[in-house]
Structure 1
Amino acid sequence: MARVEGKVALVTGGASGIGLSSARLLAKEGAKVVIADFNVEGAQQAAAEINAQGGEAYGLFLDAGDESSIREAVEFTVKHFGTITVLFNNVGLTNLQKDLDVVNMDLMEWDRLMNVNLKSVLLGSRFAIPHMIEAGGGSIINTASMAGFTGDSIRSAYGASKAAVVNLTKYIATQYGASGIRCNAVAPGLILTPAAKNNMPPQVLDIFAKYNKLPYHGEPDDIGYTVLFLASDESKFITGQTIQVEGGHYIANPSIPDFADFMQ
């Protein structure tokens, strides 16, 4: 119950799904948590639930596409709890209608996704790092995606933005490791967040299940526990890494089923 005792965390996109799971687990294990989300009511409700269970949390509004809003979230965290030692850059957008193949994608959508998915990680880190240096160190955790490691027929901007998050993570780790700041990322595969459950038909979930090496789908807590580990001193010698949490979906040579059929 004290894996992150004494730490102060800012979780962006924390009102639901992966962010909410991470905020709850961080608070349960002793961290003081600020939950920042465009859905401010959801963020405040999540904070109220944590406080009712004996934790310390506060919910506030965040527009991850706006530099001043990101700065204000960091500054509020420092003002409210005295410092910031954990930053979970978790906001991310995707759009299956506009983010298409390279020829047909909406270029304004490209700019929007790069701004929210990538620049928000840069800005959150930019504003938090000086406070972490003053505190003697900290842990920055970024949400990447398996889309950053593979190709797809659509979501070109999303995949490119997440690949950039993977590499930006390495740059932050390289530049600020001597100041005691670690920076890592987590790359989820399909995770059964409320959004995934509500928007994906059963047939699509079945397709994902067919290629998972584990016989089940991921849940938000599977990412939340990874974030908790990276926030804690248990991972104090890990930096610049992206942990893939994807149920083995992407690990096998795709031709294996065909070769198995051939051998039979």
Structure 2
Amino acid sequence: MLGAPNTGVVITGGASGIGLAAAHALAAVGRPVALWDINAEGAMAAAADISATYGVSAVGLAVDLRNPQGVAPAAVQTRAALGSVGGIVHGAGTAVQTGIGGVTPENFDAGMALHVRALIELTQAFMEDLKANPGSAIVGIASINAWFGNGMIPI
């Protein structure tokens, strides 16, 4: 279950939705969690609630995964708070709800940065931790639109 039992788990999009639900599920079985989210207040409030509810270490960090310089400093802060990382849940996501006619180079690049490049950067940032912890895992959460098209959400 995402690495050694005492290792931390990084959860992107951790302030709400599926990311927050994953954080609660992991904390309920004693896993320390780092909630990374663009919503700083939400991430910190969720981390405080999780820590108080489950008695585990939890940290909420403001991280904009569309920015390539955002992952490295957050990884340092995460290790300082939780120690070694044995899992990543990449739940952060967004959608351009304009139809194909509204896709611009800017919103396309932002979507690819968040959904694709960020997962690569996360993996690279925690590669040594993941390799050192048997059973480590990376979970990438995708939209239902990966299976069923939606003309208003092209990317």
Q: TM-score range by the shorter chain?
A: 0.7 to 0.9
TM-score normalised according to structure 2 size: 0.87
Deviations 1:189-227 (A, max 9, x none): xxxxxxxxxxxxxxxxxxxxxxxxxxxxxxxxxxxxxxx
After TM superposition, list the pairs within 5 Å mapping 1:84-233 onto structure 2.
Answer: 84-97=85-98, 100-101=99-100, 105-157=103-155
Q: Which has the larger radius of gyration?
A: 1
The amino acid that maps onto 2:86 is T
After TM superposition, list the pairs within 5 Å mapping 1:14-29 onto structure 2.
Answer: 14-29=14-29
CA distance in 2, matches of 1:76, 1:130: 16
Indicate the RMSD between aligned Cα atoms, in angstroms.
1.8
Instruction: State the Cα distance separating 1:109 from its structure 2 match.
Output: 1.4
Instruction: State the Cα distance separating 1:25 from its structure 2 match.
Output: 1.3
Instruction: State the Cα distance separating 1:137 from its structure 2 match.
Output: 4.7
CA distance in 2, matches of 1:18, 1:41: 17
CA distance in 1, matches of 2:105, 2:67: 19
Aligned to 2:71: 70
Aligned to 1:13: 13
* More contact order relative to length (CA 8 Å, sep ≥ 6): 2
Q: Tell me, which stretches of 5 or more residues in structure 2 are unaligned?
A: none
Q: Tell whether the 8 Å contact from 2:96 to 2:154 is kept in structure 1 after alignment.
A: no
Q: Tell whether the 8 Å contact from 1:8 to 1:31 is kept in structure 2 after alignment.
A: yes
Total equivalences in the alignment: 151
Deviations 1:23-78 (A, max 9, x none): 11111111011111111111111111112122221111111111221122222222
Identity of aligned residues (%): 26
Aligned to 2:32: 32
Q: Stretches of 4+ moved more than 3 A in 1?
A: none
TM-score normalised according to structure 1 size: 0.53
